[in-house]
Amino acid sequence: MRLLHTSDWQIGKVFRFADDDILPVLQQERLEAIGRIGRLARAQGAECVVVAGDIYDHLRPSERTLRQPVERMRQFPDLRWHLIPGNHDFNERDGLWERLARTGLPDHIVPHLAHAPAPLDAAGTAWVLPAGLGHRHVIGDPTAWMDGTATPEGAIRVGLAHGSVRSFGEEAPGHNLLAIDRARQAGLSYLALGDWHGAQKIDARTWYSGTPEVDGFDLGGAGGGQALLVSLDGPRAEPVVESHAVGRFRWARAQAVLTCADDIVALEGRLRAIDPDDPSRVLVWLAVSGALGLSDLEGWQARIVDGLGSALRLLRIDGAPGLAPSSDDLDAFGPGGAVRAAAETLARQAGEGDEAARAIAAAALQRLYLLARDGAGGLA
């Protein structure tokens, strides 16, 4: 059989850095990823989709947010969608899972709220052993019950859980801990995990799928934005796992030290190369340092701040190039006179004092430079 493994949709996620223009776009794309997952499952001949927790980002979504992922899954009645609660959307009394049940879920959408095996496919050749969370932080391994739980003879056993394996990462949290060898101990054909937002292979039978739509700059190159197609030829056969891209946005961190016009051109090329065909898919967090002359600061503003800032979905900039006016820059103010003297004073102040004073002097010098340039030296 074939199944599609996904997790950590976190519908309704709030991106605190995002303004009112980009926030709805990022939230909507997490919903659109569900449709891409369904179409991928169909195209690859998967019988079901297993969602390893954190379908929602928080416990009390609005009614619209609650229903939105259900409506996306409703469009694929030929697929069985198996869901478990994670740490963001754990199963609390009178919580969102009871609200979902009251909406009248279609038969092909199956929340697993109890630690009890259930058929994974219509034929019953495969069974899911779900280990959803009933609290945000669980003491003890929520998958431990799988070891002694029987399923029909010859059935494919698929574990479904949300948490961290003990050796996963340098600082694994002290809660929701899962045995790294649970698949072996419980005789699982495959253990589908959620919680980590980048895809991760733990062993041949144990995988984290990662989030289908990358949601942070630290995951830009760490495996987010996919779903896992899992082929299981039998209960003891080693699964064949294939990663398929389903995410839209590409997130990246970048750093640049700018000292001249060539640095600006190189930076622009590097950021546009992240997705040259569609830069509107790209979000960049850029850290900038260095110092530029007056004319090069114009290039920085035009090519990076205004140009790339309009092309990319988001350009978040930390820092800014300082001002280091060249002799050619100062010559724009003429060979002498009051304006040239003022420019030299501002240039000195832009390199001295505290950060606020330097910024004020640099801004004043840039403004004076533009007036002198546009006035063709008429201010001298």
**Rounded-to-integer distance, Cα 341 and Cα 334, Å:** 10
Percentage of the chain with pLDDT > 90?
A: 72
Pair 152, 254 in one domain:
no
Pair 241, 278 in one domain:
no
Mean pLDDT for the stretch of residues 115-139: 94
Pair 81, 209 in one domain:
yes
Pair 184, 136 in one domain:
yes
**Rounded-to-integer distance, Cα 106 and Cα 71, Å:** 10
- What pLDDT is attached to residue 104? 94
pLDDT at 378 over 90: no
pLDDT band at 166 (very low <50, low <70, confident <90, very high): low
End-of-domain residue from the set 245, 271, 299: 245
Q: What is the 3-state secondary structure (H, E, C) of the chain?
A: CEEEEECCCCECCCCCCCCCCCHHHHHHHHHHHHHHHHHHHHHCCCCEEEECCCCECCCCCCHHHHHHHHHHHHCCCCCEEEECCCCCCCCCCCCHHHHHHHHCCCCCEEECCCCCCEECCCCCCEEEEEECCCCCCCCCCCCHHHCCCCCCCCCEEEEEEECEECCCCCCCCCCCEECCCHHHHCCCCEEEEECCCCCEEEECCEEECCCCCCCCHHHCCCCCCEEEEEECCCCCCCCEEEEEECCCCEEEEEEEEECCHHHHHHHHHHHHCCCCCCHHHEEEEEEEEEEECHHHHHHHHHHHHHHHHHHCCEEEEECCCEECCCHHHHHCCCCCCHHHHHHHHHHHHCCCCCHHHHHHHHHHHHHHHHHHHHCCCCCC
Pair 239, 351 in one domain:
no
End-of-domain residue from the set 178, 213, 245: 245
- What pLDDT is attached to residue 245? 95
Query: For 84-93, 157-166, 278-287, 347-356, which range has the lowest pLDDT when averaged over its residues?
Result: 347-356
Pair 30, 141 in one domain:
yes
Mean pLDDT for the stretch of residues 113-122: 96
- What pLDDT is attached to residue 167? 47
- What pLDDT is attached to residue 377? 46
Nearest to 129 by CA among 211, 78, 189: 189
Mean pLDDT for the stretch of residues 165-190: 80
- Residues 26-55: pLDDT tens digits? 999 999 999 999 999 999 999 999 999 999
Pair 232, 268 in one domain:
no
**Rounded-to-integer distance, Cα 370 and Cα 10, Å:** 48
Query: For 1-15, 37-51, 154-168, 255-269, which range has the lowest pLDDT when averaged over its residues?
Result: 154-168
pTM score: 0.87
CATH number at residue 25: 3.60.21.10
Pair 87, 12 in one domain:
yes
Tally the domains of the chain. Answer: 2
- Residues 79-117: pLDDT tens digits? 999 999 999 999 999 999 999 999 999 999 999 999 999
Strands 190-194 and 206-208: parallel
Pair 369, 260 in one domain:
yes
- Residues 308-327: pLDDT tens digits? 999 999 999 999 888 877 77
Pair 259, 232 in one domain:
no
Pair 54, 200 in one domain:
yes
Query: Could you tell me the residue range of the domain that residue 342 belongs to?
Result: 250-376
Mean pLDDT for the stretch of residues 147-164: 96
pLDDT band at 357 (very low <50, low <70, confident <90, very high): confident
Pair 215, 254 in one domain:
no
- Residues 202-233: pLDDT tens digits? 999 999 999 999 998 875 455 689 999 999 99
pLDDT at 161 over 50: yes
**Rounded-to-integer distance, Cα 308 and Cα 306, Å:** 6
End-of-domain residue from the set 194, 229, 245: 245
pLDDT at 257 over 60: yes
